Every structure is written in structure tokens, then in C-alpha cells.
Amino acid sequence: MKNTSKLTGISLLNLIVLIVFSFIFITPIAAEESLYERGKELVEQKDYEKALKAFDIAAKAGNLDALTALGVMHIGGIGVKQDNKKGYQYIKEAADKSDPKAQYTLGALYYLGVGVEKDYKKAFNWLNLSSEQNYIDAKYNLGVMYEFGEGVDQSYEKAYEYYLFAARRDSLESQIKVAEMYKEGIGTAKDPDKSAYWLKRIEDSK
């Protein structure tokens, strides 16, 4: 499998920002959730000062996604003085409360070495906690770590299992991996028909 699909090929901070400020997911709107959603809109508008205020109020009201957002903004110096320690504390607080996005974000920080020293074992542990709650990006990234033996014993079979789980839930990156693994017989039996199925599913999603 080619190294071009590893996470290190992605702009480090941009990846984390994309994770936290994703507009893909629609969640129930409570008072603090509404503030969090407003904060995301303000980030998109590049009004970072107001976004920080919205996230801060939402976090104090108990919104864990807002805590994670505050952490990313401090680590990235987005609308605020860059502060790795403070940013880490925000994300860790949410992760310790079993929030899967925060756990994933913390794992990604350790994997990429953003705001913390790179540590694949810690990355694996946090990603695994997120994966246990079926957070799809965590499933994909655990597949990457098993594929390349980062923080865990290398296993194409385990990588295939994680990729397949995420692929079935519309992770494009995982679908590409699964198609390649079926084509080459990596981690699973070679199966041109199944490879073609996943390639078609990828094409149909465009």
C-alpha cells in the first residue's frame, strides 16, 4: 500500500480544523448546542473573536464540542494567542468526559505532533477510545496505524477490518483503501468483483 494515503500527507493544523468545524453533522439544538453551531458559522465567516466567545459560553454550559473547538483555536492561534498548553487542556477535558470527537482530535494531535510531542502509542490509545464509540474517522485512522505499524503491531488484516467498517459508513478514504486491498489481496482474499463494487460506489458518490 502506498504511503501517500498516510495522515502525514495532510496539512497538520488544517486537518484538525476540518475535523472540529465540520458542517456535515446535524445535531439536536439545545441552548449550548445553538451557541456551538453559531460559533462554527462565525469560524466559516472568519469572525474568530465572536466565534471564541460563542464557544466559550457553550463550553461553560457543558457543550463538549465547544471545548474541543476552543482547544483547536488555541493550539492553532486562530483568533487568539497561540497556546499549546491551554489548547491541550480544553481538548483533554472533553476527551476525559468520553466525547468521541475530542478523543479523536486528541489522537490526531498525538499522531501528527500538533500542539504536543508526536507519540503514536498515545495516538492509538485515544483513537481506539473514539473508535469504540464508532467514530468513523477514528476507524479509518486506526486502519492507517495498523497498515503501517504505527503505535501498534503491523497487521494488514486488522487494517482491512477497520477500513471496511468505515467504508460501509461512507468514508471515501476507507472505500479507496478497501477497493485497493481487494484488488491486490492485501489483508483479505483477492476479489476483483468486490474491488469493482467499491470502485463503483466511490464513483457514484462523486
Instruction: Give the residue-averaged pLDDT of 111-133.
Output: 95
- Average pLDDT of the residues in 145-155: 97
Return the pLDDT at 139.
Answer: 96
Cell triple for residue 85?
498548553
pTM given for the model: 0.84
Instruction: Give the pLDDT confidence score for residue 34 in this predicted structure.
Output: 87
Residue intervals of the chain classified under CATH 1.25.40.10 are: 1-118, 135-206
Question: For 9-28, how does the pLDDT look when each residue is reduced to its tens digit (9 = 90+)?
Answer: 334 556 666 666 654 344 44
Q: What is the pLDDT of residue 1?
A: 54
CA angle at 161 for the pair 14 and 20, rounded to the nearest 5°:
20
Task: Please tell me the CATH superfamily of domain 135-206, with its number.
Answer: Tetratricopeptide repeat domain (1.25.40.10)
Which string of b and e fits 113-138 if b means at least 16 CB within 10 Å? ebbbeeebebbbbbbbbbbeeebbbb
Distances from the Cα of 173 to the Cαs of 84, 88, 170, 191, in angstroms?
A: 29, 27, 9, 19
Average pLDDT over residues 159-179: 96
Q: Is residue 82 pLDDT above 90, yes or no? A: yes
Q: Look at residue 205 in the predicted model and tell me its pLDDT.
A: 87
- The DSSP secondary structure of 90-114, one letter per residue, reads HHHHHHHTT-HHHHHHHHHHHHHTS
pLDDT over threshold 50, residue 32:
yes
What cell does 121 get?
502509542
pLDDT of residue 8: 41
Average pLDDT in the 116-144 region? 96
CA atoms within 13 A on the CB side of 157: 2
For the chain, what is the mean pLDDT?
A: 88
Amino acid 3: pLDDT: 42
Which of 1.25.40.10, 3.50.50.60, 2.40.50.840, 3.40.710.10 is the CATH number of 1-118? 1.25.40.10
H/E element holding 165? helix 156-167
